[in-house]
Structure 1
Amino acid sequence: MDQAIIQQVIAALPVPVVALDAEARVFAANVAASRLLGDNLTDRPFVTVLRHPVIVQAVDSVLDPAHVDPPVPDPNLAKVESGGYRNRVVISARGRDLPVEVTVSAMPTKFGRGALVVIEDSSGIEEAGQLRRDFVANVSHELRTPLTAMIGFIETLRGPARDDPGARDRFLQIMETEAARMNRLVLDLLSLSRVESEERRRPAETVDLAMLVRAVTETLAQQALANNVRILVEGADSPVYVAGDADQLTQVFHNLVENAVKYGGTGGLVTLRLSHIAHEPSLRGPACSVAVIDQGEGIDEMHLPRLTERFYRVDSHRSREKGGTGLGLAIVKHITSRHRGKLRIESEPGQGSRFTVILPADPERR
């Protein structure tokens, strides 16, 4: 067996690979395997490297054709074309339980009897599956609550409140509010889906950020007035150009300013501050920033890392009461990412909040 050649081959592979001789001892392991399973793997019995009974039994079966095939306790264990086995299991590594897919295959004949053990980290797949399940559960909850209320009101209107004009008007008003919230939720879900589908495609148009910010404030002027809030715009007197999608950037600043008016407007003032940055380290070049600053109650530091998660709310009751869907900041994050920008959130209880969108400046129209 030419162990040197095998070592060279597996060293070039990006996933953890361990090569075993006929006695099930490790004679070669790549750097990825050492990072996962620890140092000094060579010249050790495989059973001391990866202590998992199903995998050890698969190794025995590959090395000894007379060995009884390992049992098939669940659909995660399957034979592969090479005569080996693929196992989806959980192993202890990196100080935690890690879901992996392990493939045990016979060594190519010209190298003699032996086995290759390939380990693929499937934690990302598991996490994606959990995110999908959580997303479906959250959407179901968000839709079920207003639907349940509307069904109850309809039954009441058909029964006890059939001839009560006051109750009928009150219930119809609530039903209209709930239907409008469901409609906003569906529109936000569609918007989030569109943004995610385009996230890898950078916008090629040129947008005047100053004009866009002024237009957003004019659109929200009546809502701000109704909440007794004044919107102040700074630094938007002259054109500021960025490469971007005008509709999506409008949605970003509309969401941020509307949130500031709704939840941070208790201070009576929301400021939009447009600034030039000669060199932004995170973007490695010149940039423009738009900060949306309120003087409201502020947000506890523990919530800040999760604010852009779908359906995450600091105060669920207050958010629903004000018509929030829990998707606004997730949309902001994805649109900002599509524009190769950064979203920064700063807040302290009692000190208000600052949401800053930083976008690369248009190098041709600075």
Structure 2
Amino acid sequence: MKGLSLPVPSIIVAFCAAVVMYLGGSGFWMSLAILLVWLATLWLARPEPTVETIDRDDGSVSRQAMVELVEPFGLPVLMLDGQRIAAANAAAREELGAHIVGQDARVALRHPEAIGLLQKPQGRALVRGLTGARSIWQVSRVPIDERFSLIEMVNRTAEADISRAHTDFVANASHELRTPLASIIGYIETLADPDAKVDAATAAKFHATVLREARRLQSLVEDLMSLSRIEAEKHELPRDRIDLGQMVGTIASETAMTVGEDRLKVETVEAVVMGDRQQLDQLVRNLIDNAFKYGDSQAPVSVSVGVVQGEAELIVADRGEGIHPDHLPYLTRRFYRTDPGRSRTAGGTGLGLAIVKHIVERHRGKLDIASTLGKGTTVTVRIPLVLQQNVAADPSLS
């Protein structure tokens, strides 16, 4: 009987006792009967095999050995003994709960697709909603032998989200490009039609509309290309030393020449950061442009650059209508608009804040948008300052 642990000392004691009784005159059959009863008692009192030690033909496998086998995996992994979960690594316990060890796998996973997979000796299934409403897991079952098998879980939720975001982006971009193109084509076809009999005033109005839509289309294409370049470079740290205060002062002076000095309040200090000059210039211009587009036309826009806890802090504030709190979490999404009609009338592409967000992320900064209805909107950007120890460590930065 392989793998059976016999109580050898107790058996020896039982034989010795039987021999002593026989020699003492108890008789052979009485001594044998007592020996058999004693051995039967030892057999019935033997410990039952538990999940800690599982008898197998090739020896015994401890539960600890199972845990040590699956624990190093980064992916959630379960070891099944039949249909029961004998071991689960840390990643699996985090996703499904520590209570699953010892449970029937069909109860622990409790999903039709997963249960269907567990009814097969091996296979793979895509399970939606296993750990959350939007979660997507690829669950695979791999047999070890006739008794044991492994369940591996791969989280495909992020891939699905990226694919969905890509599809949404293409659809939104196509719609945004189609709208001005349709307008341009419609007006040009009318002007080119000899039977339309368009008078000079109407023709001039059509030409102005075509020019406006063409410029809007140009702005949209430029913003799309800009966003694409920023995303392509997002893992490359900028290496130019830039005084953000000086840059903002220069841009503000240029803007004031167009809108009037009384419309722009500027306050800056020296704040040197590591940055991409073109992208930071675009960030500042986008924020100031948004403040004038959506702020109160009679109230000034304030722009300031300060230093707070080792970071350069850029603040752009307007005194417009403000933004409802429900919209704030989505403002940096591509093509998201709180008021599509007003945005298009103002010449917005719906990509300005998405570009700002990606520029801030590339510069390892933080972006915050706060707004109060009826009072205005404040956008705050914080970017780490260039520290003296960083310059000393890398002479190329000086």
- TM-score class normalised by the smaller sequence: 0.7 to 0.9
Query: How far apart, in 2, do the equivalents of 1:175 and 1:362 lie?
Result: 47
Q: Note if 1:319 corresponds to 2:343.
A: yes
Residue number in structure 2 paired with 1:212: 247
* Residue among 24, 28, 35 paired with 2:94: 35
Match in the other structure for 2:65: 5
Q: Secondary structure at the match of 2:120?
A: helix
**Structure 1 residue 91: Cα displacement:** 3.8
CA distance in 1, matches of 2:357, 2:131: 33
- Structural mapping, 1:1-366, within 5 Å: 2=61, 3-21=63-81, 23-62=82-121, 84-94=122-132, 96=133, 98-107=135-144, 113-159=147-193, 160-225=195-260, 230-236=263-269, 239-277=270-308, 279=309, 286-364=310-388
Q: Is the 8 A contact 2:249 2:268 kept in 1?
A: no
TM-superposed CA distance for 1:229, in Å, is: 6.1
Matched residue type, 1:257: I
Give yes or no for contact 1:291–1:357 (8 Å, CA) kept in 2.
yes
Q: Which amino acid aligns with 1:86?
A: R
Q: Does the aligned pair in 2 maintain the 1:205–1:243 contact within 8 Å?
A: yes
| Aligned counterparts of 1:341 and 1:97: Cα–Cα separation in 2 | 30
Gaps of 5+ in 1: 63-83, 280-285
Question: In terms of mean alpha carbon deviation, does 34-43 or 319-328 score higher?
Answer: 34-43
Q: CA deviation at 1:37?
A: 2.3
SS across alignment from 1:100: strand
Structure 1 SS opposite 2:231: helix
The structure with more radius of gyration:
2
CA distance in 2, matches of 1:171, 1:118: 63
1:39 CA displacement: 3.2
Residue by residue over 1:258-295, the C-alpha shift from the partner in whole angstroms, topping out at 9 and shown as x without a partner, is 11111114342011111111x2xxxxxx1111111111
Name the structure, 1 or 2, with higher relative contact order (CA <8 Å, separation 6+): 1
Q: Deviations over 1:216-246 (max 9, x none)?
A: 1133234423xx961111134xx32111111
Q: Give structure 2 stretches of 5+ with no counterpart.
A: 1-59, 392-397
Pairwise CA distance, 1:163: 4.9
Counterpart code for 1:55: A
Q: 1:78 aligns to what?
A: none
1:229, 1:265 within 8 Å by CA — same for their partners in 2? no
> What is the distance in 2 between the residues matched to 1:163 and 1:54?
65
RMSD: 2.1
Are residues 155 and 235 of structure 1, via their aligned partners in 2, closer, same or farther at CA, if it must alter by over 3 Å? closer
Percent of aligned pairs sharing the same letter: 37
- Amino acid of the residue matched to residue 103 of structure 1? S
Inter-partner Cα distance in structure 2 for 1:59 and 1:323: 57
Report if aligned partners of 2:75, 2:154 keep a CA contact under 8 Å in 1: yes
Distance (whole Å) between structure 2 residues aligned to residue 27 and residue 161 of structure 1 = 81
Could you tell me which amino acid in structure 1 is paired with residue 248 of structure 2? Answer: V
Instruction: Give the drift of 1:61.
Output: 3.0
1:307 is displaced (CA, Å) by: 0.9
